[in-house]
């Protein structure tokens, strides 16, 4: 089941119960009629449990923010969302220790929010360092030994790396020093993790683009 109307954005909300689906539908159409702080918490909670949803939750959050701004000129939902993101960010080590999947979902979600939310057509400055900190954590040796975290790191850099670099190039340089050091680790890295790290190093070196030769090399390797 997808939610939406012809000509409008659609959102996959089949994993929510019927009551929550109704809450989200109302938040998108008539945000003033629901508790938007509750909506923010519902979306974050679900994103931490469902990595498929966390990949597209940013789109839904952006639509609710736009709807609320248009209807009432307020930002209750955005404030609630950012407060909750900050709470989870501050407890990120505990989250990672408790649930690797929850941690990967959180990083996916915060990068998705960074990708979609704009202030004056620019990414939100308040999210730049938290996103960087999450990616730096994924580039530590103990994370690089886990394919789920390597996969998450590379996917998020494909998605928001270029935008992040424009906001703070020095931190991106430092992150790639870690990634290169990780790639050269004598042990602990699977062959797939090495391949993914090499691909993202070359992707950035080519100006955040995949050259035809690189695409042929990496993606034929991964599919095999």
Look at phi and psi of residue 165 and say left if phi exceeds 0, alpha if psi is from -120 to 50, else beta.
alpha
- Model pTM above 0.85: yes
What is the spatial distance between Cα 33 and Cα 12, in angstroms, rounded to a whole number? 22
pLDDT value, residue 123:
87
Q: Select the CATH number that applies to the domain covering 15-107 from these four: 1.20.950.20, 1.25.40.180, 1.10.510.10, 3.90.650.10.
A: 1.25.40.180
pLDDT value, residue 150:
97
The residue among 175, 177, 85 whose CA lies nearest residue 135 is 175
The shares of helix, strand and coil residues in the chain, as percent rounded to the nearest 5, are: 75, 5, 20
pLDDT value, residue 8:
45
pLDDT value, residue 90:
97
pLDDT value, residue 220:
64
As its CATH architecture, domain 119-208 has Alpha Horseshoe (1.25)
Q: Is the pLDDT assigned to residue 223 strictly greater than 60?
A: no
Q: Do domains 15-107 and 119-208 have the same CATH topology?
A: yes
Q: Is the pLDDT assigned to residue 160 strictly greater than 50?
A: yes
Mean pLDDT of the chain: 89
Phi, psi of 11 (to 5 degrees): -130, 135
Vertex 68: Cα angle to 63 and 73 (nearest 5): 135
For the segment 184-208, what is each residue's pLDDT rounded down to a tens digit? 876 778 889 999 999 999 999 999 9
Domain ranges of the chain: 15-107, 119-208
pLDDT value, residue 119:
79
Q: Can you spell out the DSSP letters for 44-68?
A: HHHHHH-HHHHTTHHHHHHHHHHHH
For the segment 77-102, what is each residue's pLDDT rounded down to a tens digit? 999 999 999 999 999 999 999 999 99
pLDDT band at 15 (very low <50, low <70, confident <90, very high): confident
DSSP 146: S
Q: Average pLDDT of 113-141?
A: 93
Sign of CA dihedral 46, 48, 54, 60: positive
Q: Average pLDDT of 106-134?
A: 93
Q: Is the pLDDT assigned to residue 2 strictly greater than 50?
A: no
Write out the E strands in the chain: 2-3, 11-12, 118-119, 122-123
pLDDT band at 218 (very low <50, low <70, confident <90, very high): low
Compare 15 and 24 and report the one with higher pLDDT.
24
Helices 36-49 + 18-29 axis angle, to 10: 130
Buried b (16+ CB within 10 A) or exposed e, 140-158: eeebbbbeebbebbbbbbe
């Amino acid at each position: 089941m997808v939610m939406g109307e012809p000509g409008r954005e659609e959102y996959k909300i089949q994993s929510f119960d019927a009551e929550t689906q109704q809450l989200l539908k109302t938040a998108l159409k008539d945000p003033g009629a629901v508790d938007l702080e509750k909506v923010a918490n519902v979306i974050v909670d679900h994103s931490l449990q469902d990595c498929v949803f966390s990949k597209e939750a940013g789109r839904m959050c952006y639509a609710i923010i736009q709807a609320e701004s248009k209807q009432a000129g307020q930002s209750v939902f955005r404030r609630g969302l950012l407060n909750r993101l900050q709470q989870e960010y501050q407890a990120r080590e505990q989250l990672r220790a408790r649930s690797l999947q929850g941690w990967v979902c959180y990083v996916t979600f915060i990068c998705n929010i960074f990708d979609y939310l704009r202030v004056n057509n620019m990414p939100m400055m308040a999210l730049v360092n938290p996103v960087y900190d999450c990616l730096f954590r994924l580039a530590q040796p103990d994370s690089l030994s886990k394919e789920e975290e390597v996969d998450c790191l590379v996917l998020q850099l494909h998605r928001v790396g270029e935008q992040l670099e424009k906001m703070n190039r020095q931190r991106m340089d430092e992150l790639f020093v870690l990634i290169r050091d990780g790639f050269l680790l004598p042990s602990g890295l699977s062959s797939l993790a090495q391949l993914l790290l090499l691909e993202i190093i070359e992707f950035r070196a080519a100006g955040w683009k995949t050259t035809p030769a690189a695409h042929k090399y990496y993606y034929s390797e991964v599919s095999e």
